[in-house]
Amino acid sequence: MSDDILDVLVVGAGISGISAAWHLQTMCPQRSFAILEARDTLGGTWDLFRYPGVRSDSDMFTLGFSFRPWHGDQSIADGPAILQYLHDTVREFGIHRNIRFGHRVQQASWSSRDALWSVSVQRAGAAEPLRLRCRFLFLCSGYYRYDQGYTPGFPGLDQFKGRVVHPQAWSDDVEVDGKRVLVIGSGATAVTLVPAIAQSAAQVTMLQRSPTYMVSRPSKDAVARRLHRLLPVRLASAVTRWKNLLMGLYVFNLCRRKPAKVKAFLIGLVRKALPPGYDVQTHFTPRYNPWEQRLCLVPDSDFFKAIRAGRAQVVTDQIERFTATGVRLQSGRELAADLVVTATGLQLQLLGGATIDIDGERVDASKLVIYKGLMYGGLPNFAATFGYTNASWTLKADLTSRYVCRVLNHMAAAGARVCTPRMADAAMALDPFVDFSSGYFQRQLQSLPRQGRVKPWKLNQNYLADLVTLRFGRIDDGVLDFQR
């Protein structure tokens, strides 16, 4: 197979890769393609994360694919249900025939002379790397490292006699029953874990440096259930998808226009969900404005119910050091623990962790400027899926896949072999890749690509704007350079 030339090489068999495969099969049936997946199974995030209670913080009507709507009863689904949905999708459309498991991309080299990518792939169990060639490289490998999460260098961690586990490395042998569990972190993972393990642990403490915005929503969408009783399945799912999509955009824009008002409203809801007199100011009033980081979803108020029942507590403080039996805080307080869960975030990794070079010259990712949210200035025949920070990942994945297929079809019609975004204004003002204050972005902001301040070099966080541009906008826009 090393001598074959594929039309498209897709990297990653999670949500983005599955979307890419369906769109290629449907919109570009004449194109040959393969999906390379580093792990031995599909599903990406939804197969990797195995911690208790793992679930989506986006509703399933927008996290589900546009071409195969979610029909489940739960609007907020757990990890196993999402993974089953992905497996069913792959099986229904025969996508599994194009996936090559145990194939990790290490390097991609573009040859202008041949108009081809040469991709070095490490195969599981093989001593020598495989080299594949393709005309178009499509990265669908997500945005974080799978081999390890982020854990700060806590002083004295090696002195702790109990077990320490990062949620990304959770395994079946992690015992929580009857244990004193300390969950460090305040993001979506911590908020998911705490109520799940509080059911059997002796005590669960969530230790946070600063609070996060939390929003309670029913796990079942009452409007969706009513629509499914009244309308055909696909129509009901489509209406629900648009209802949730537009509501999400409205809330996000309201947060940006009237942050103080929204903040007061959100904190008021939390106050109602907690026992009278609870110190909401200390533990649930963030220092930043709403949607500068993702809002934490609390389905059916499960997190607040665990606190009200006395099975969980929140402590807002900073760690001075670990001890043999727990942690000592800067306030002088000590928290005893048998198990520590470091829900302290991800390690960002764009471009799949592979090195990229153009005609032998190494590409510095921090020098790249994103084009239409999926291609990069100066990179030929290349695209990468990066989902929204303020909405479901799949919304952007589907738009990206459709746009790549439009580009491929335009190239075929024009007889072009190469397409490259060209930035004419070298002096254009640039901004960070995302306007997002979450730690996992801020830690690596300097190594990430940049975005411009004008279209098409600006990274939208708006599905409607991207829908117009990516689905209906011109392909030959004067910026995307086509060469025969």
237: three-class secondary structure by DSSP: helix
Last residue of a domain, one of 316, 342, 368: 342
484 residues of the chain, pLDDT tens digit each: 445 799 999 999 999 999 999 999 999 999 999 999 999 999 999 999 999 999 998 999 999 999 999 987 789 999 999 999 999 999 999 999 999 999 999 999 999 999 999 999 999 888 889 999 999 999 999 888 888 888 899 999 999 999 999 999 999 999 999 999 999 999 999 999 999 999 999 999 999 999 999 999 999 999 998 998 899 988 999 999 999 999 999 999 999 999 999 999 999 999 999 999 999 999 999 999 998 888 899 999 999 999 999 999 999 999 999 999 999 999 999 999 999 999 998 888 877 788 999 999 999 999 999 999 999 999 999 999 999 988 999 999 999 999 999 999 999 999 999 999 999 888 889 998 887 767 777 787 788 899 999 999 999 889 999 999 999 999 999 999 999 8
Residues 335 and 206 in one domain: yes
Given this model, what pLDDT does residue 434 score?
83
Residues 130 and 46 in one domain: yes
Tell me the C-alpha distance between 51 and 59, whole Å.
20
Given this model, what pLDDT does residue 437 score?
67
Last residue of a domain, one of 307, 342, 377: 342
Look at residues 78, 71, 63, 69 and name the one whose alpha carbon lies nearest to residue 16.
63
Given this model, what pLDDT does residue 1 score?
40
- Quick one: three-class SS letters along 94-118? CHHHHEEECEEEEEEEEECCCCEEE
Last residue of a domain, one of 298, 322, 342: 342
Residue 83 lies in a domain: yes
Per-residue burial over 218-228, b if 16 or more Cβ lie within 10 Å, else e, is ebebeebeebb
Given this model, what pLDDT does residue 2 score?
44
Residue 233 lies in a domain: no
Residues 221 and 299 in one domain: yes
Residue 394 lies in a domain: yes
Residue 286 lies in a domain: yes
Residues 191 and 336 in one domain: yes
Q: For residue 417, what is the domain's CATH number?
A: 3.50.50.60
Element (H, E) at 204: strand 203-208
Residue 128 lies in a domain: yes
Given this model, what pLDDT does residue 21 score?
98
Report phi then psi at 370, rounded to 5: -75, 145
The strand ranges marked E within 262-354 are 296-299, 312-316, 319-322, 326-329, 334-336, 339-342
Question: What global pTM score does this model have?
Answer: 0.94
Q: Domain containing 28: what range? A: 5-147+347-483
Given this model, what pLDDT does residue 371 score?
96
Residue 103 lies in a domain: yes
The strand ranges marked E within 300-405 are 312-316, 319-322, 326-329, 334-336, 339-342, 355-358, 361-362, 370-371, 375-376, 382-384
Residue 239 lies in a domain: no
Residues 185 and 105 in one domain: no
